[in-house]
Amino acid sequence: MRKLLSLALVAVMLVLLVPAMAGAMTIGVVYKQTGNPFFEAAVKGFQEAADDLGFTLVHNGPADSSNEGQIQIIEGFIQQGVDAIAVSSNDAAGVVPVLQSAMEQGIHVLSWDSAVNPEGRELNVDASVAENIGRVEVKEIAEQIGYEGQIAILSASSTHDNQNTWIGWMQEELKEPEYANMELVTIAYGDDLTDKSYQEMQGLIDSYPDLKGVISPTTVGIAAAANCIQDNGLTGVIKLTGLGLPSEMAEYIKDGVCEGMYLWNPIDLGLCAGYAAYNLVEGFEPVPGATFEAGRLGTITILADANGNPFTIVGDPFRFTAENIDDWKDVY
């Protein structure tokens, strides 16, 4: 039924497109950094939505993951006359004025993956509920280390809002009684740089000889940590989990350095955000409780966060293990 609907939609779009190309809807997607495989996969999702619904997709990200670079790109999209902009921001507050300027000119704005402050967007599409992401990683590492021992967190940058949110939930989870025998010794910051993350991990190994587990909720960090653990011959002695890219972590998972890690499907994330953007342009009001169709993902409901701001999620984090990693390592 849904497929028929989208087919009909596409047909109508095509009919409208043939005489007047100028009427085509264009949606601009901005991500944190260009050339990043996670975002390349997300773009695949957006493209899928674009193909389903018949809008034109333009996308770009700064080469240096800077806020200023993103502002330039957004201004470029405004200049090209896009109908909606979907942003995964490097700086939640720094990108607000330009997005407000866009909204004043009638462009719809939503954020995805890395949220923008509420005053700069109409809707936020999260991959999963932040709370779930934080809690599930603590549960995973606890199970791996047998619910006792020292653990550490290897994060990205202390300026990343989503990192701090997840870490906050991890610390909340650790307050639960079943983790009484576990201790979070420190949080290290690898700044999403491979060499710095490696050095920080080495520092953890050298500073905390009783370290049993590491959570690294950043794809660069978890890969560097896995590399470091293996280089030190501590596979299986220090357990590892976090958020990782299947293609990057495939070898380490197979070697047993990491028994289980999480990530969500960026393709689905892009697809959902693409549909959301399209619907916003079509007049959809993102109030809590409202729903919209997202192709093969089904019906998506708008939720409200602690401050009443509308957001939605795609699903739950997906667990990668040695059994299923081969299915995913060539996907993203």
Partner 1 sequence: MKTLRRVFFRWEWLVIGLTVLVYLFFQAKLGDSYTVLKLLDQTRVYVVDIGFMAIGTMMVLILGDIDISVGSTAALSTTVMGVAYNAGEGVPFWAAIALALLTGILCGLVNGLLVVKFKELFPMIITLSTLTIYRGIAYIILKDGSAGGFPGWFSKTLGYGRVLGGVPVMLLCLLAVMPLFYVLLHHTVFGRRLFATGTNITTARYSGIRTDRIKVVVFTINGLLAAVGGVMLLSRTGSVKYNIANGYEMQAIAVAVLSGASTSGGKGSVVGVLLSLILLTCLKNGLMIAYNDSFILNLAIGVLLIGMVLFPNIYQALRQRRQVKQQQLLSLHS
Partner 2 sequence: MKKERHLQASLTALFSRHREIGLLLILIVLWGVVGLRNPLFLSGDKILFILKDTAPLFVLAAGMMCVLLVGSIDISITGIMALSAMIAAMVMRNSLVVTDTTVITDGVETVVRTKTGLPLMLIVLIAMGIGGLCGAANGAIIAYGKVLPVVTTLGMQYILYGFSHVVSSGQAVYKKDMTDAFVDFTRVDILGINAQTWIMLFCLLLMFLFATYFRAGRHMYAVGSNREAAEMRGINANRTILLAHIIMGVLAGLAGVLFGSHDTKITQDLKMGYEMYVIAACVIGGVSVTGGVGKITAVLLGALVIGVINNGLPMMRLTGDAEFWKKLIQGLLILIAVISNVVLRRMTVRRELKGRKI
Binding mask 73-112 for partner 2 (x = CB under 8 A): ----------------------------------------
The site partner of 59 among partner 2, partner 1, none (C-beta below 5 to 8 Å per kind) is partner 1
Residue whose CB is less far from partner 2, 123 or 174: 174
Separation in Å, CA 278 to CA 53, 66, 134: 8, 27, 30
Other beta carbons within 10 angstroms of residue 308's beta carbon come to 8
Rounded CA Rg of the chain: 21
Binding mask 158-187 for partner 2 (x = CB under 8 A): x---------------------------xx
Number of residues that bind partner 2 (CB under 8 A): 34
Q: Is 64 in the site for partner 1 (CB under 8 A)?
A: yes
State the minimum distance, in angstroms, from the CB of residue 154 to partner 2: 11
Residue 278 in tokens: 């399209």
Q: Is 61 in the site for partner 1 (CB under 8 A)?
A: yes
CA 313 to chain centre: 11
Other beta carbons within 10 angstroms of residue 133's beta carbon come to 23
Q: Is 72 in the site for partner 2 (CB under 8 A)?
A: no
Residue 110 in tokens: 């939503």
Closest by CA to 270, choosing from 30, 100, 70, is 30
Contact residue for partner 1 among 24, 68, 237, 287 (CB under 8 A): 68
**How far is 34 from 24, CA to CA, in rounded Å?**
25
Contacts for 164 with CB less than 8 Å, ≥ 6 apart: 158
State the minimum distance, in angstroms, from the CB of residue 251 to partner 2: 4
Other beta carbons within 10 angstroms of residue 5's beta carbon come to 11
Q: Which stretch binds partner 2 (CB under 8 A): 2-10, 20-28, 243-251, 307-315?
A: 243-251
Residues of this chain, 97-116, that bind partner 1 according to CB under 8 A: 97-98, 100-101
Residue whose CB is less far from partner 1, 101 or 227: 101
What one-letter code names the amino acid at 166?
W
What one-letter code names the amino acid at 246?
P
Separation in Å, CA 285 to CA 100, 276, 277, 280: 18, 10, 11, 7
Residue whose CB is less far from partner 1, 69 or 310: 69
CA 34 to chain centre: 15
Q: Which stretch binds partner 1 (CB under 8 A): 154-162, 231-239, 252-260, 317-325?
A: 154-162
Residue whose CB is less far from partner 2, 6 or 60: 60
Q: For residue 77, give the H/E element and its range.
A: helix 67-80
CA quadruple 118, 120, 121, 122: dihedral positive or negative? positive
The site partner of 195 among partner 1, partner 2, none (C-beta below 5 to 8 Å per kind) is partner 2
The site partner of 62 among partner 2, partner 1, none (C-beta below 5 to 8 Å per kind) is partner 1
- Contact positions toward partner 1, by CB under 8 A? 34-35, 58-64, 66-69, 71-73, 75-76, 79-81, 91, 93-98, 100-101, 157-159, 164
